[in-house]
Structure 1
Amino acid sequence: MSERKAIESWLTDMDGVLVHEGVPVPGAPEFVAKMQQSGKPFLILTNNSIYTPRDLQARLSRMGIEVPERAIWTSALATAQFLADQRPDGTAYVIGEAGLTTALHAVGYVLTDYAPDYVVLGETRTYSFEAITKAIRLINGGARFICTNPDVTGPSNAGDLPAAGSVAAMISKATGVDPYFVGKPNPMMMRSALNTIEAHSESTAMIGDRMDTDVLCGLEAGLQTILVLTGISTRAETERYPYRPSRIVDSVADLIDEL
């Protein structure tokens, strides 16, 4: 294999890498602080489209992880950017929460249920049968179908919850139309993040806890990939995949000295 360039910028997943079940991963506050001190560009990524970057900044701050709002990149922001590039000043019927609606408003989109250009499905804790029915009828009427991320379940204190990917499957079954997923593992999520911090793929590393999203997405975008074992994937599970991360470490605490 050819020798990789030195890492000049960083992308890191949030849940399972910096925080786990509502508490910071040991070493994560120090890792993020060192990233900022290094002066190298970085972004914290999440497929969760519920929250705005400001919401997530406050959540991380309560856990002792201090980052600027601009250092957080969500699937909602990536989706809004994608739609603004594809069809500027368009219209959308949205199933989602503030993270998604705020991002779409910011790029000039009008949210409507009257002949929208797109149906955009994101995460919400209160999926409405009425809203899903409306989405099905609008797609059948010609609206294009976009989903922020393909995750089929999401975590909660009581256990897994159905997530956007599961609801998208139901809508697809009813319409015969598959959505375009913008979030991980679509490498577009990575490319939009790279563009945001003006970074180059050859000198950027992606840190994640999932082989099927973080590592796959980073690999397909041409990044170095680092799997941490503080979230979903285990070291043994990596052998089941036809691709491998560039490295496996126990946690981001092992990367502090490299910054």
Structure 2
Amino acid sequence: MASVLTVNNQIASQLSPDLVAQDRLVLCDLDGCLVSEGRAYTDSASFLQSCGERLWLVSNNSSHCAADLSARLAEIGLTVPAKRILLAGEQTLAHLARLHPGARLALFASPAMEQEARRLGFALTGDRPDLVLLCRDTQLSLDRLNAVASLVQGGAAFWVSNTDTAHPGHAGQPIAETGALLAALRAMLTELKFESIGKPHPHLAALALSRTGVSASEAVFVGDNPDTDGAIARAIGTRFVLLRRTGAPE
């Protein structure tokens, strides 16, 4: 574990207010930490309450927008305002809209992401796009996979919301993520090049630091994946709490 944890970092089996009592900003992953497949862990609500406005969700979720996810979390007893939720899919769209306003975008994603892309002014198309963005597209058939490969091979700049291959299910079983779709593309296009600002890239965590004005030394990142959560904590210089849950949500 030496490569994952340094002197001030911790490993925990459950969420406890004591883990983050001294931190001004608590950056927390979602799947595997607070919820699993839409169900909250028993300690999640009390942890969120104890953190209050210090807590920001920093997730590689690329299926929802913050407002939609905030409402869904409220339905299972978890209160996190949309303004304190940073999601890889939504933030990638926002990032691309700043870099390429009004660009022609081939988007392989959920209906919520398509709606957000239109709101941001993208022209969604499958014909000669400037950009291709792959998110967690649960409808990605072989035909759609072939379409992604063709567009990328045709010269469109390729972006991926995140590179996670899976997130944990109720029993700890892997649930396919965007990175699994990316792996299929890599098998087809052996020299595939892409860009991503999802974890472990520091972009999402840096946004939280910027918007709160809190320094990295006063923050902590709580996550269950050392390859993404641990890496982003190291990248921005925050303490890391590795959460290793042993049970499923009730």
Q: TM-score, normalised by structure 1?
A: 0.77
Instruction: Give a deviation string over 1:205-229, Cα, whole Å, max 9, x none.
Output: 1111111111111111122212222
Aligned residue type for 1:43:
W
User: In the aligned structure 2, how far is the partner of 1:231 from the partner of 1:117?
Assistant: 45
What RMSD over aligned residues (CA atoms) do the two structures have, in Å?
2.7
2:217 aligns with: 202
SS at structure 1 position matched to 2:207: helix
Aligned residue type for 1:206:
F
Q: Which has the higher contact order (CA 8 A, sep 6+)?
A: 2
**Do structure 1's residue 117 and structure 2's residue 117 form an aligned pair?**
no
1:71 aligns with: 84
1:105 aligns with: 118
Instruction: Give a deviation string over 1:198-252, Cα, whole Å, max 9, x none.
Output: 44323221111111111111111122212222279xxxxxxxxxxxxxxxxxxxx
**Structure 1 residue 179, shift from structure 2 partner:** 1.9
**Structure 1 residue 157, shift from structure 2 partner:** 6.6
Instruction: Give a deviation string over 1:148-168, Cα, whole Å, max 9, x none.
Output: 011112455795343211221
Q: TM-score, normalised by structure 2?
A: 0.80
User: In the aligned structure 2, how far is the partner of 1:68 from the partner of 1:152?
Assistant: 28
Q: Is the 8 A contact 2:64 2:90 kept in 1?
A: no
Instruction: Give a deviation string over 1:19-77, Cα, whole Å, max 9, x none.
Output: 235432232211212222xx44x311221211222332232122211222222211112
2:141 aligns with: 128
Aligned residue type for 1:27:
D
Unpaired runs of 5+ in structure 2?
A: 1-5, 10-21
User: In the aligned structure 2, how far is the partner of 1:226 from the partner of 1:63?
Assistant: 24
**How do residues 1-259 of structure 1 correspond to structure 2 at under 5 angstroms?**
7-36=23-52, 39-40=53-54, 42-155=55-168, 159-175=173-189, 176-230=191-245
User: In the aligned structure 2, how far is the partner of 1:231 from the partner of 1:211?
Assistant: 16
User: In the aligned structure 2, how far is the partner of 1:51 from the partner of 1:117?
Assistant: 23
Unpaired runs of 5+ in structure 1?
A: 233-259
User: Identity, % of aligned pairs?
Assistant: 25
| Cα gap change, 1:87 to 1:200, in 2 (>3 Å) | farther
Instruction: Give a deviation string over 1:72-115, Cα, whole Å, max 9, x none.
Output: 21111221132123323322101110343233334322211122
1:249 aligns with: none
